[in-house]
Amino acid sequence: MTQAMTPAKLRDLAVVAAIALAAAAGFASGPAAAWLRGPSLDLLMPLRHLLFAAPAPSSHVAVVAIDEETYRRPPFNQAPQAAWPPLLAPVLAAVAGEARVIGFDVVYSTSLDSIQRGFERDFLIALRNAARADKLVLGKVQHSAYPILPHAAQQIAVGGAANIRPLNVFEDIDGVIRRVPLSFAAADDSREAGFAAELAQRAGARAAPPLDAAGNLQLNFNTAPGAIPTYSLADLHACAQAGNTDYFRTHFAGRTVIFATVLDVEDRRLTSRRLVPAVDGARAPPRCVHPVMELASAARDSIAGVYIHAAAIDNLLDGTALRDWPPPANIAAAIVLALLSALAAFHLPLAFGLAGIVAGLLLLPPVAAALLQGGSVAPWLSFVAAMVATAAATVAYRFAVADRDRRLIARLFSLYLPPVVVERMVAGGRMPELGGEERDVTVLFSDIAGFTAISEACAPATLVQGLNTYFSTMTGIIEDHGGFVDKYIGDAIVAVFGAPVEDSRHAERAMRAALKMQAALRGDPQRFSVAGHAMKTRIGLNTGRVLIGNIGSPRRFNYTAMGDAVNLASRLEGANKAYGTSILVSEDTMAAAGDAIVARRVDVVRVVGRAQPVRLYEPLAPRETADAEQLRLAAQPDDPAQAVRNLTEK
C-alpha cells in the first residue's frame, strides 16, 4: 500500500528541491560558471588526448621559425636580429612561390635603411611581390593609443593598412588563452579582421564559425606532437641559397605560412592545451640542408604565440572550432544532475546514495571528453560543483532535520531491541506501526525451575548477582539468533522472534536459541549456580499470529506481543514439569521450522480455549549435528493408544 505524503515529507521534498535548484543556478550561471568554464576545457584536453587518438598532423598551416638554431647558425649568428630582413628575402620569395598566403607574426618596427640606404631592398621587393599577389599579411600589435606597426618602408611595400592586421589575443580572467578575437574596432568605429581571421579568409575559409557572445573563436587545439609543421629559418635559408625549389613545393604548396619567433623564453603563452605538455620541434618535418641541431629541450605547458594563430586558422578552415553550450542548456543539465544527486543523497541509504553520486561524478569527465571530441564544450566542472554542493547540503539537512525522527525511533527501540535489529530496521526503512500490527512470530517463554527454593536459600544480593549472570547470557543467545527480549517477569524471560524485522526463519531460529540456552546451562553449571543450587530452566515455544507493537498508554507503553499464541507458549513452558522435559514446542512451530530441527513427538493435548488439540514436540538438536539416537527418537511413530490430554494452567 502506498503511504500517504505527510506534511513533513512534503516539507523535506520542497527543501531538497530548493537546495538542488539553488546549487544548479549558482554554479551553472553567473560568476561561478564563468570562472569554472575555462578549467573545464583545460582538464578535458588531456583526457581527450588520452581517451581518443589525437588526429595526425594535417594542418593547413606551416611555421617558419626564428628559433634557437637560427640564432646559432651562420649567417644569422653573425648579425643582430635587426639586420636579418635581407636574410629573410630569399626564404620569403621561395615560400611565396608556393604558399596560399603568408603572414608575419613578428614585427620589424625599425630599419637599418636609415644607416645604410638600400640595406633592406631585397626584403622590401619580396614583400611587395607577395602583397601584389594578395598573399601577404603583416602583423601589428594593437594598443589603445600607439600601435606597434611595421616600419614605414614595409607598410608602403605591402600596400598600406589593407595588408596589416592586429596580432592581439586576449587572456581569460585566469591568464590563460582559450579564445581569439576575429575582429577589432578600428579608429573610425569600423571593424577590421584579426591576423588569423584575415589569413584564413584569404586561404579560403567561407563558413561562419561558431562564436561566443563577445564574437571570439574558441580554440580547438590538435594536441598531437608536431601537429603544426615547423621549419627552422636557418635551414630554409640554406635551402633557398641552394636553389632547392622542390623542397619548398613539397612542404609549402597551398599552405598558409607564418613567419614567427619560436623560442624558449620569448612570446610563450598558456593556453587551454597547457595540461598536455609538448616539446618544441617534436616530430619536425624532414630537413632540406642542415641536420637537426641538438638542443636541450623539455616538455612545457606554454606554447609559442604563433601556434595560437595557427590553431585558429585550422579551426576556421576545417570548421572545427569549439562550441560552448548555450546558457539554458547549462542550467537545465545542472538542474537535472543536482536533482538526481539530491534524490540519491536523501532517499537512498546514505552509503548507496553517496556511492551513486561518486559514480556519476566519475562518469562526467569521460562523457564531457567524448562531447569535446565532437566540438562541444560541456561545463562539467559546474555540474560537479552543483552535484557536490547539493549532496553536501542535502546530507546536512537529512542529518539535522529529516532523519531526526528516525534517530529518535532508533533510540527508543534501542532500549529494548538488540543494536543489530535496530540497525536493520532503520536501514530497511520499515518501522512497526506505533499502534500495533498483526505479525506471524515465534514466542519463547523460559522459567527457572525451583526458583522459589533458590531465592529462599540465599541473600538478596547473591540472588541478584546470579540472576544478572543468567539473564545476560540468555539474552545474548536470544539476540544472537535474531530475537529480542520482550520482558523479564521475575525469573522468567519472554522473547519474540520474527519482529520487528520480518524473518521467514523465526521458528527455526527460536528453537536453535532454546537448544543453545539449555546447552549453556549444562556446559557451565558452576557459573549458573546460586548458593549451591544449579539453575535449570524450562522453555516453551509457540508460533502464531499475534498483535505486536507499542501497547499501553500515551505516557507509558511497551513494545510487546499479545494474543493466543503468546498464551500457549506460556502454557507449554509450564507443561515441561509434567513431561519431565526442558523444552516443549507446538506443532505450529515445528511446521514453520521445517526439517531444520530434529524433535521427538511428546503428546497431544487439549488447551483451554482451543477447539483443536495441540501436538507437542521436544526439540533434540539441529539436524546437521543430530546423532543416531536423536534421529531414532525423532522417527518413532505416535502411540495409537495415546489419548488426548487436557493442558491446564500451570
CATH number, domain with residue 529: 3.30.70.1230
Tell me how far apart the alpha carbons of residues 629 and 60 are, in angstroms, rounded to a whole number: 94
Q: Given pLDDT bands bounded at 50, 70 and 90, which one contains residue 67? A: very high
Mean pLDDT for the chain overall: 89
Is residue 250 domain-shared with residue 105, that is, in the same domain? Answer: yes
Q: Mean of the pLDDT values across residues 304-321?
A: 95
In a domain, 159, yes or no: yes
In a domain, 569, yes or no: yes
Task: Show the cell assigned to 586.
Answer: 507446538
Task: Show the cell assigned to 629.
Answer: 539416537
Which pLDDT belongs to residue 409? Answer: 67
Please report, as a single letter, which amino acid is at residue 455: S
- The tally of domains found in the chain comes to 2
In a domain, 413, yes or no: no
Q: Report angle CA 429, 433, 439 to the nearest 5 degrees.
A: 95
Q: Between 409 and 634, name the one with better pLDDT.
A: 634
Q: Mean of the pLDDT values across residues 64-92?
A: 94
Q: Given pLDDT bands bounded at 50, 70 and 90, which one contains residue 291? A: very high
Which pLDDT belongs to residue 590? Answer: 95
* pLDDT, tens only, 239-266: 999 999 999 999 999 999 999 999 988 8
In a domain, 365, yes or no: no
Write the DSSP assignment of 14-52 as a string of letters.
HHHHHHHHHHHHHHHSHHHHHHHHHHHHHHHHHHHHHHS
Cα-Cα end-to-end distance for the chain: 43
Last residue of a domain, one of 296, 318, 340: 318
183-185 and 376-377 strand pairing: unpaired
Please state the separation of Cα 530 from the chain's center in Å. Answer: 61
Tell me how far apart the alpha carbons of residues 110 and 569 are, in angstroms, rounded to a whole number: 111
Is residue 310 domain-shared with residue 454, that is, in the same domain? Answer: no
CB atoms within 10 A of CB 156: 13
In a domain, 595, yes or no: yes
In a domain, 343, yes or no: no
In a domain, 431, yes or no: no
Count of helices and strands (H, E) across the chain: 21, 25
Which pLDDT belongs to residue 236? Answer: 98
Write the DSSP assignment of 537-606 as a string of letters.
EEEEEEEEEEEEEEEE-SSSEEEEEESHHHHHHHHHHHHHHHHT-SEEEEHHHHHHHTTSEEEEEEEEEE
Last residue of a domain, one of 264, 291, 318: 318
* pLDDT, tens only, 130-146: 999 999 999 999 876 67
* pLDDT, tens only, 350-408: 899 999 999 999 999 999 999 999 999 999 999 999 999 999 999 998 888 866 766 76
Tell me how far apart the alpha carbons of residues 192 and 136 are, in angstroms, rounded to a whole number: 16
Tell me how far apart the alpha carbons of residues 237 and 87 are, in angstroms, rounded to a whole number: 7
Last residue of a domain, one of 302, 318, 334: 318
Q: Mean of the pLDDT values across residues 99-106?
A: 97
Is residue 448 domain-shared with residue 305, that is, in the same domain? Answer: no
Torsion of CA 581, 586, 592, 595, to 10 degrees: 40
Give bridge partners of residue 615 from the DSSP assignment: 604
Which pLDDT belongs to residue 185? Answer: 82
Q: Between 478 and 410, name the one with better pLDDT.
A: 478
In a domain, 430, yes or no: no
* pLDDT, tens only, 137-193: 999 998 766 789 999 999 999 999 999 999 999 999 999 999 999 998 877 778 899
Q: Mean of the pLDDT values across residues 39-63?
A: 88
CB-side neighbour CA atoms (13 Å) of 567: 11
Domain that holds residue 233: 56-318
Q: Reply yes or no on whether the pLDDT at 621 is more than 50.
A: yes
